[in-house]
Amino acid sequence: MCGIVGYIGPQDAMPIILGGLKRLEYRGYDSAGLAILQNAHIEVRRDAGKLEKLVSLVQQDPVYGHVGIGHTRWATHGEPNARNAHPHMGATGEVVVVHNGIVENFLELRDELSAEGVQFKSDTDTETIVHLVERYMDSGLDLVNAARQTFHLLRGHQSVVLMSSREPDKIVAARLGNAGGVVVGFGDGEMYIASDLPAILEHTRRMVFLENMQMATVSREGLILETIDGEALDYEIQNVQWDPVAAEKGEYRHFMQKEIHEQVRSLTDTIAGRADFDQGRIYLPTLNLDPDTARRIRKIIITACGTAFHAGLVGKILIERIARIPVEVDIASEFRYRDPLVDESTVLIAISQSGETADTLAAMAEGRQRGATLWSIVNVIGSQAMRISDGFISMQAGPEIGVASTKAYTAPLIDLYMLAVYLADLRGTLSSGERFKLVQDLRLVPDLAGRCLEVEPQIEKIASRLVEISHSLYLGRGINMPTAYEGALKLKEISYIHAEGYPAGEMKHGPIALVDRDMPVVIIAPEDMWYEKMFSQIEQTRARGGPVVAVATEGDALIPGVTDQILWIPPTPWMLSPVTTVIPLQLLAYHIAALRGLDVDQPRNLAKSVTVE
């Protein structure tokens, strides 16, 4: 995910910016750049690849100045090359921007600017920002007001940092939504800006964190904090005592909690650049697929382990329903031992956060040997699974450090949804109206995820009532049956509480015998076509004395009558509901484990990536 660093003060800005970017490397990136105000004009150095390339660029062609901004980019719009690397300059070379997040309406804005004669030099959404600021400055506004006008035009979640050689005494920054934070650091006659604390922690511990829709004007004299509507704000400088590892976690206690919260951003990034909302189409060019090849697919086999396998189970429902292709889902460690029926008309899709899981790679090798086309849905770019695939979809979840997978579960859910729509489009199995609606629904996802996070305090309260339990059952049906598996896996791996996920309809065939007052049952009952059956499941559990925790849709009038332990989710289109139903279960597991004082990020006996059979 993108990292940002800025400096204004008496020191040489370049080493401070490079040092800060270095500390943000753990977030992952594919290009890096910086801009320095040198002798009243802006100098930019940027390149694709690792920071070392930027370092050697500035060694060959040094820049010196006291004001500057830098950026590491994780590509969303446009390839990871030097042209698309940040900072981006306007036409005059007098304004420069770095950006984290996505300008959702950038196509619209780019068309508008192009019609006014603006020439774009990159494929990024970010470049629209700098041209807009320049347009407003050319019409007579100062940098702050030009930025303010621009911020009002941007849709989506993002943070933006700008500077201009016309006003060399300041840097302007804003936090617009949830695409990462902006922190302002106070030095002695000098100021720092960063997307994340670790970037500037060695220089200062006196910080102000921007809230949503706030903008900061930073000069050597200090900070002016305002809303983006121009209302002046008071601020309190916090004295941050965190060590560097704690700083990477930001305001969160554990990486898992941070990663659960990052889902607004990771889901935004997953959708960006792939969904064309105007055309109602999905584009997945890295699959290297054409309509003829798509039409020749007879069967899809999804293979994966653990959490990724659960995502695959959701994928089966989506692909069969939307693209009408038969799908089998195999646990990767079993696939090669069952003499699977695979031929040239089969596509094998491996799902893996790490792209290095031994069983998943072995299943891919088995599929390859039997003539299947190999696709992968992978988070770690350049991993083995990605390298051996004929086509891939990169998850865009960003680095996941907690052993329990969270954002690398919801990202592939969306990838599989988009894949289903893409295949259906290529094979002509959807009407354009249906396709359009499915694509539009994707727009809702980041905000829906954000709304699930808002009820965290209530979830923590429910968790506090469950800290002492020894067992639990998780029940789901239809598209949320895999959510029951995933919710139970989250609980058992980090809290060491025995938890089992079941298809709700199977209860009467055995597991219901387990239900008594010591067996809490988590029942996933969003308002969808399975709602009545799940509601009757709640009744049956209560009739046997089992405490019920329900995942229910806001506005549900019936469930509050039968249980007060409710994890509320916003109304969600049913095919996307596995994203909103799982987030409260991730939070529930997290808070139970945290309240039990366990090592949430590194649970006993588990490794992040299982590279042995």
Cβ-contact 185, 194 below 8 angstroms? yes
Task: Tell me the residue type at 56.
Answer: S
Q: Is 22 a catalytic residue?
A: no
288-to-179, 347, 391 alpha-carbon distances in Å: 30, 13, 6
204 binds ligand AGP (CB under 6 A): no
Here the tokens at position 61 are 């062609």
Q: What are residue 129's phi and psi, to 5 degrees?
A: -60, -45
354 binds ligand AGP (CB under 6 A): yes
363 binds ligand AGP (CB under 6 A): no
124 binds ligand AGP (CB under 6 A): no
**Nearer CB in complex with ligand AGP: 16/404:** 404
Binding mask 484-513 for ligand AGP (x = CB under 6 A): ---------x--------------------
Handedness of CA 73, 79, 81, 85 (dihedral sign): negative
Here the tokens at position 42 are 């802006």
Indicate the helix (H) or strand (E) that contains 226.
strand 222-227
Query: Which residue in 217, 360, 389, 580 binds ligand AGP (CB under 6 A)?
Result: 360
Residue least distant from ligand AGP (Cβ): 306
Task: Choose among 520, 537, 530, 508: nearest CA to 578.
Answer: 530
Q: Is 2 a catalytic residue?
A: yes
Task: Choose among 547, 538, 542: nearest CA to 518.
Answer: 547
The burial of 454, by beta-carbon neighbours within 10 Å (0-12 exposed, 13-18 middle, 19 or more buried), is given as exposed
348 binds ligand AGP (CB under 6 A): no
Query: Which residue in 153, 237, 444, 610 binds ligand AGP (CB under 6 A)?
Result: 610
257 binds ligand AGP (CB under 6 A): no
Indicate the helix (H) or strand (E) that contains 69.
strand 67-73
352 binds ligand AGP (CB under 6 A): yes
Angle in degrees, 0-180, between the axes of helices 407-427 and 306-323, rounded to the nearest 10: 20
Site for ligand AGP in 70-99 (CB under 6 A): none
Query: Which residue in 89, 289, 404, 488 binds ligand AGP (CB under 6 A)?
Result: 404
Q: Taking the complex as a whole, how short is the minimal distance between the CB of residue 307 and ligand AGP, in angstroms?
A: 3
393 binds ligand AGP (CB under 6 A): no
Interface segment toward ligand AGP; rule CB under 6 A; list 64-72, 119-127, 399-407, 591-599: 399-407
Torsion of CA 149, 155, 156, 160, to 10 degrees: -20
**Nearer CB in complex with ligand AGP: 22/591:** 591
The one-character DSSP state at 383 is: -
Q: Taking the complex as a whole, how short is the minimal distance between the CB of residue 341 and ligand AGP, in angstroms?
A: 24
The burial of 561, by beta-carbon neighbours within 10 Å (0-12 exposed, 13-18 middle, 19 or more buried), is given as exposed
What is the C-alpha separation between 217 and 424, in angstroms, rounded?
Answer: 49
Query: Which residue in 18, 308, 361, 538 binds ligand AGP (CB under 6 A)?
Result: 308
Query: Which residue in 177, 250, 306, 578 binds ligand AGP (CB under 6 A)?
Result: 306
Query: Which residue in 2, 225, 403, 430 binds ligand AGP (CB under 6 A)?
Result: 403
Cβ-contact 47, 31 below 8 angstroms? yes
483 binds ligand AGP (CB under 6 A): no
Task: Tell me the residue type at 440.
Answer: Q
Q: Exposure pattern of 249-269 as b/e (b: 16+ CB <10 Å)? A: bbebebbbbbbbbbbbbbbbb
Binding mask 213-252 for ligand AGP (x = CB under 6 A): ----------------------------------------
Question: Which residue of the set 53, 121, 299, 608 is catalytic?
Answer: 608
Interface segment toward ligand AGP; rule CB under 6 A; list 289-297, 315-323, 348-356, 580-588: 348-356
383 binds ligand AGP (CB under 6 A): no
Q: For binding to ligand AGP (CB under 6 A), which residues are involved?
A: 305-308, 352-354, 357, 360, 403-405, 493, 609-610
Catalytic site residues?
2, 608
